[in-house]
């Protein structure tokens, strides 16, 4: 069965199409959506079958951690331990193209956190389609950058994604062209913030 192809306006997302995408997610679907860094594969946090499908599409094993996409800082606090210093950094850098590694709470399924460190990567995307979908769902999404096996860069155009993935995913949200740079990754589990990967988010924004 072919996937739904949803052309959603990047500035004024159509509520009818956002609801359609949310229904696909709630039904156990894997969805491609744009973010403020690049296109991503996403699904419900607690849907093991959908998470396994994402791993199969990317051909990555369970050692490759997925990222939790949250609406706001309040939601982040339900899934990660955030002390005062981490909160200040998160407040300065979100929403934006940053992924923060934090200690996971018990709300995060064990299979989605780092097995030995019990950490989780979280982000609050600065993208109106993402925010509308997260608001409609009322819960986070779990996901990863859409880089297909054999490709060096993420796919950047919705129509090209639909051509290649229409039989592997349940919906493709075309929100216009996305960039190639991934998020900037900051590890907040140690005494000092550590820059793990430089990406679209400017580390200087949080003093790194």
DSSP 176-205: S---S---EEEE-SSSS-EEEE--SS-GGG
Which pLDDT band, with edges at 50, 70 and 90, does 203 fall under? Answer: confident
CB neighbour burial string for 94-110, b if at least 16 within 10 angstroms, e if fewer: bbbbbbbbbbbeeebee
Phi first, then psi, for residue 107 (nearest 5°) are -70, -20
Q: What is the mean pLDDT of residues 161-172?
A: 93
**Residue 111 in this model has a pLDDT that exceeds 70:** no
Place of tokens 């129509």: 159
Q: What is the mean pLDDT of residues 8-19?
A: 96
Q: Which pLDDT belongs to residue 171?
A: 96
Q: Which pLDDT belongs to residue 114?
A: 60
Which pLDDT band, with edges at 50, 70 and 90, does 105 fall under? Answer: confident
Q: What is the mean pLDDT of residues 53-65?
A: 87
Which residue from 207, 195, 208, 203 is spatially nearest to 96, judged by alpha carbons? 203
Q: What is the mean pLDDT of residues 150-162?
A: 88
Weakest mean pLDDT among 73-82, 87-96, 112-121, 174-183: 112-121
Signed CA dihedral, 99, 75, 127, 39: sign only: positive
- Locate all alpha helices (DSSP H) within 81-195, ordered by sequence: 84-93, 128-137, 158-165
Q: What is the pTM of this model?
A: 0.91
**What are residue 185's DSSP bridge partners?**
99, 197
**Residue 104 in this model has a pLDDT that exceeds 80:** yes
H or E element, residue 25: helix 15-26
Q: Which pLDDT belongs to residue 10?
A: 94
Q: Which pLDDT belongs to residue 115?
A: 60
Q: Which CATH class is domain 4-200?
A: alpha beta
Cα 43 from Cα 28, distance rounded (Å): 7
Cα 70 from Cα 67, distance rounded (Å): 10
Q: Residue 50, class by beta-carbon neighbours within 10 Å (0-12 exposed, 13-18 middle, 19+ buried)?
A: buried
Angle between the 15-26 and 128-137 helix axes, to the nearest 10 degrees?
A: 60
**Residue 2 in this model has a pLDDT that exceeds 60:** no
**Residue 137 in this model has a pLDDT that exceeds 80:** yes
């Amino acid at each position: 069965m072919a996937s739904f192809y949803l052309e959603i306006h990047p500035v004024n997302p159509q509520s009818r199409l956002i609801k359609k995408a949310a229904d696909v997610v709630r039904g156990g679907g894997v969805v491609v959506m744009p973010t403020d860094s690049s296109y991503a594969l996403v699904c419900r946090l607690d849907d093991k079958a959908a998470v396994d499908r994402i791993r199969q599409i990317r051909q990555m094993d369970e050692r490759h951690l997925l990222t939790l996409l949250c609406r706001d800082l309040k939601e982040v606090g339900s899934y990660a331990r955030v002390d005062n210093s981490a909160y200040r950094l998160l407040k300065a850098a979100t929403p934006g193209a940053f992924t923060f590694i934090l200690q996971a709470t018990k709300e995060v399924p064990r299979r989605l956190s780092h097995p030995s460190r019990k950490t989780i990567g979280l982000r609050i995307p600065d993208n109106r389609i993402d925010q509308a979908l997260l608001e409609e769902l009322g819960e986070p999404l779990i996901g990863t950058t859409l880089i297909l096996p054999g490709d060096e860069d993420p796919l950047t155009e919705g129509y090209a994604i639909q051509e290649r993935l229409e039989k592997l995913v349940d919906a493709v949200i075309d929100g216009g062209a996305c960039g190639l740079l991934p998020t900037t990754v900051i590890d907040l589990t140690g005494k000092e913030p550590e820059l793990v990967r430089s990406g679209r988010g400017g580390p200087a924004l949080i003093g790194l």
